[in-house]
A and B are shown apart, each in its own frame.
Chain A
Amino acid sequence: MSPHAAPHVELRRVTKRYGAFTAISDLSLTVDKGSFTALLGPSGCGKSTLLRMIAGLEPITAGQCFINGAEVTDVDPAKRRIAMVFQSYALYPHMTVRQNIAFSLSIAGASRKEQDARTQEVARILQLEDYLDRRPAELSGGQRQRVAIGRALVRKPEVFLFDEPLSNLDAKLRVQMRLELAKLHAALHSTMIYVTHDQTEAMTLADKIVVLDRGRVAQIGSPLELYNRPANKFVAAFIGSPSMNFFRVGLTAVEEKTASVALPGGRTARVGLGAPPAFAEATVDLGVRPEHLSLVDTHDAEAALSGRIGIVENLGNLTLLYVDTPAGQLIVEGPGDVGSKKGDLVGLKFSAANARLFGADGATL
């Protein structure tokens, strides 16, 4: 939880339509002051549109937007006291780093002295002092990224908006910049809203994640809440890499906190339920994460499924095994020295606490 738990940005029942297409549908959201909130979802889920609506770059079709308690639905972007870091960085190529950072101050009519002082301060925070007189073309990807952040920082905004800011960087630099962003947030305690389709970024940076699915909120929660207690099949599938395994099972018995299910292949298993059962479906989807499946002997009493290993991916510290079972191909995450090889016949077990059941509408049972 954020140390300052007061709503800072609030969207009330906002909708965004482009002609007949609805990009955001009746969505409400509050972002606490000082929090780092990630808007996460696949391409086309409306996360960037939502961010642009908060920024004022996209008119809101219906609903209201509040920043710091004041309605800003129709307020000009420059007057919302927010700053945005774009995916492309949008650094002005004809200006030096110094001019890029000081641009908003120059537009606001700040004195040259103030512009210099604040640019220097930002450059010091972002370690850009040696690059102030270079142009963006002369900088590396990471440096450009820092200039883009500096341009936002210099305005001393109330809210920082990030639109997939790390997606143009290579994997190594992305990890480094992720760490720098986390440090920056820890140092500034500013409200940050961060759009990404990369769940690792969202999980590592954010204290609250908003998962979006086709313009609606699929779930809001802390990274671990989403991971451990997904509200629906979409979130369960989207969070976690490799993705959760799903297969159809038959319900045989339902008790207060557990259900017995008939697995493909003839065996049965017990699965934990999140709430007292209030459903009557005969078949449901069972979801279990690759790291919660473990290899046992096919004749082991605990083996829920058995199958043959189709593909083995050795990643050094862990191994991914693709096992062909009567339930379909399941991914099993094992240790680096798993000892199994392609073609081996194996049994798979999982515990009741680590499996989830999903109803026909996708909701977690």
Chain B
Amino acid sequence: MTGAVAVADAPLSAASRLMRLRRIDLIGALVTLATLLGAVVWAFPLYWGLVTTFKPETEIVQPGVQLWPRDFTFENYANVLTQTKIGLWYLNSLITSGAVTIIVVAMAASAGYAISQLQFPGRRFFWAMILASFMVPIPALIVNHFVLMSQFGWVNTLQGVVAPQLIAPVTVIIYKQFFDQMPKDFREAAKMDGANEFQLLFRIYLPMNWGVTTALAIITFIAAWNLFLWPFLAVSSEEKLNVAVGITQVHDAFGVQYGRDLAVAMLAALPVAVVYLLFQRRVTQAIMLSAGIKG
């Protein structure tokens, strides 16, 4: 009897499983479609901007939607590269962003290590200060920064652009959290092997957290590259501008020319896009880390 019931049940349960799978499939298809639609909506302006840079100005201002250039031209890029100082701005951005990245990572790792692993008077106070500084929005300090840089004689210099960007409490907090999680056996084993604190940090702790370091370095670099407000205030000479501020100067100097303006914007975004595409996983990880702290 039981066997008969089981036999009768079997096709029924198989059918209901199939139904459920179909339902899940349908939901999956709808979600995929919605995601695809979202991606298209998101990507279209980028595509539109890119295509526009390859159109002559006369074609750009014509009414209607032209999805592909009728007359394909590099004229806009040629204009930007020959008539502006974008090469110099690139270099400035590279120097300032590189310096900010290296100094922030080195300082944050050291500070995070000290607060996490060392016992010294004032450790709790320093930790409280770092947490407190995290609560203060950086733009609120911009006037103070300007006054300070001015007193240093660093206004309109690259070091003046770099210095205020070195305040990175989030990076310290992330490092501290990661160092806190390291089993103490590694530290003790290295201590028994004769390692000092610097060797512990640079030969054990940092290499063992290399993924975090890479992620933090990338996101710090991208943030420094994209920074606008502070470099805009701190620098007045065209030779000291970074790319983010420089592109606004193109518009100011030559008036509205969509093709050229968008070409300069594309060139400015290119390095960040390349960095993102190369280190996509690390960038996502870094954003998650920062979000974890901020959340």
Which chain A residues have a beta carbon within 8 Å of chain B's beta carbons? Answer: 55-57, 77-78, 82-84, 86-88, 90, 92-94, 103-104, 107-108, 151, 155
Closest 8 CB pairs of A and B: A104-B193, A78-B194, A90-B185, A90-B189, A94-B207, A107-B194, A86-B185, A77-B192
What is the distance, in angstroms, from A71's C-beta to the closest C-beta of chain B?
19
Which chain B residues have a beta carbon within 8 Å of chain A's beta carbons? Answer: 183, 185-186, 188-195, 199, 204, 207-208, 210
For B208, list chain A residues within 8 Å (CB): 92-94
Q: A92-B204, A92-B208, A94-B210 are in contact. Are A78 and B192 (CB under 8 A)?
A: yes
For B192, list chain A residues within 8 Å (CB): 55-57, 77-78, 82-84, 104
What is the distance, in angstroms, from B226's C-beta to the closest C-beta of chain A?
32
CA distance A57 to B192 in the complex (A): 8
5 other A-B residue contacts (CB within 8 Å) besides A77-B188, A107-B199: A55-B192, A86-B189, A90-B188, A104-B192, A155-B193
Q: Is the CB of A107 within 8 A of B193?
A: yes
Q: Is the CB of B191 within 8 A of A57?
A: yes
For A77, list chain B residues within 8 Å (CB): 188, 191-192
For A78, list chain B residues within 8 Å (CB): 191-195
Q: Please name the residue on chain B nearest to A99 by beta carbon.
A: B203
Q: List 7 A-B contacts (CB under 8 A).
A: A57-B188, A86-B185, A86-B188, A87-B185, A103-B190, A104-B192, A104-B193
For A151, list chain B residues within 8 Å (CB): 189, 193
For B194, list chain A residues within 8 Å (CB): 78, 104, 107-108
For A83, list chain B residues within 8 Å (CB): 192
What is the distance, in angstroms, from A191's C-beta to the closest C-beta of chain B?
16
What is the distance, in angstroms, from B200's C-beta to the closest C-beta of chain A?
10
What is the distance, in angstroms, from B187's C-beta to the closest C-beta of chain A?
9
For B207, list chain A residues within 8 Å (CB): 92, 94
What is the distance, in angstroms, from B122's C-beta to the closest C-beta of chain A?
21
CA distance A332 to B251 in the complex (A): 96
CA distance A83 to B190 in the complex (A): 11
Q: A88-B183, A92-B208, A94-B208 are in contact. Are A103 and B188 (CB under 8 A)?
A: no
Q: Is the CB of A88 within 8 A of B185?
A: yes
For B183, list chain A residues within 8 Å (CB): 88, 90
Q: Is the CB of A84 within 8 A of B189?
A: yes
CA distance A86 to B194 in the complex (A): 16
For A103, list chain B residues within 8 Å (CB): 190, 193, 195
What is the distance, in angstroms, from A53's C-beta to the closest C-beta of chain B?
13
Q: Please name the residue on chain B nearest to A86 by beta carbon.
A: B185
For B188, list chain A residues within 8 Å (CB): 55, 57, 77, 84, 86, 90
CA distance A136 to B186 in the complex (A): 13
Q: Please name the residue on chain A nearest to B204 by beta carbon.
A: A92
